Amino acid sequence: MKVGVLALQGAFDRHAQELSLAGAAPLEIRGPKHLEDVDALIIPGGESTTILKLAESLGVRDLLSDQIRDGLPVLGTCAGMIVLSKAIIDGRDDQNPLGSIDIDVRRNGYGRQLASFEADLQIAGFETPFRGVFIRAPLVERAGKDVEVLASVEGNPVFCRQEKIMTTSFHPELVSDGRIHELFLELAFASS
Ligand code: GLN
């Protein structure tokens, strides 16, 4: 199974490593052509403004949102969550997300004191906690009724799923724990 990692900007290397460890073949996506033969996709952390701008100028944006709408499984982490959201609060005026998952997120929503932090997350279906690394993470301020919340921190969703779209406010690629990537691959390749 070929899993693309959007490699326009940001933390894509570690995702590729985790995918290999989980038994998938990672593929760096840098233009529309690369998107043609992937079975699933990861949108990494980084700067959502830059990722969206580059996606637009490289001609990836529309193709990406069409493919996701047509069922391409996708995991968005941190900035990737912002890119996939329906609405961005405190984003730039020209920052239009793809609207693939029914959540509204506040950029850098954990505030100055908590700009970066770690937390042990209880994730539905995991036997032991998952260490969540949050780096200027988005705060999910609204999750629609079709969104399943798989983990929260102090009442705020940090891991969301809607059909084959998963988003995390934290960086699962930065801890040596492949369970989120494995879960994503299971979801992506489960017959539905
Ligand atoms: N704050 C960044 C943004 O708005 C996201 C940070 C991250 O991906 N670690 O895009």
Domain ranges of the chain: 2-191
- What mean pLDDT is predicted for residues 155-180? 97
Report residues whose beta carbon is within 6 angstroms of any ligand 1 atom: 45-48, 78-79, 82, 107-108, 135-136
Strand-pair partners of 133: 118
Residues in CB range of 190: below 8 A, 6 or more apart? none
* Catalytic (active-site) positions: 78, 171, 173
Write the pLDDT tens digit of every residue in 15-33: 999 999 999 999 999 999 9
Atom of ligand 1 nearest to the CA of 47: 10
* Ligand 1 pocket, mutate which of 5, 12, 47 (most atoms under 8 A from CB): 47
pLDDT confidence bin for 37, thresholds 50/70/90: confident
Residue 14 has phi, psi (to 5 degrees) of -65, -30
Looking at 3.40.50.880, 3.40.50.11820, 3.90.1150.10, 3.40.50.11440, the CATH number of the domain 2-191 comes to 3.40.50.880
The whole model's pTM is what? 0.96
In whole angstroms, give the CA distance from residue 168 to residue 158.
Answer: 5
Share of the chain above pLDDT 70, in %: 97
How far, in Å, is the centroid of ligand 1 from the Cα of 82?
8
Q: Please report which confidence band the pLDDT of residue 165 belongs to, taking 50, 70 and 90 as the band edges.
A: very high
Q: Give the pLDDT of residue 33.
A: 94
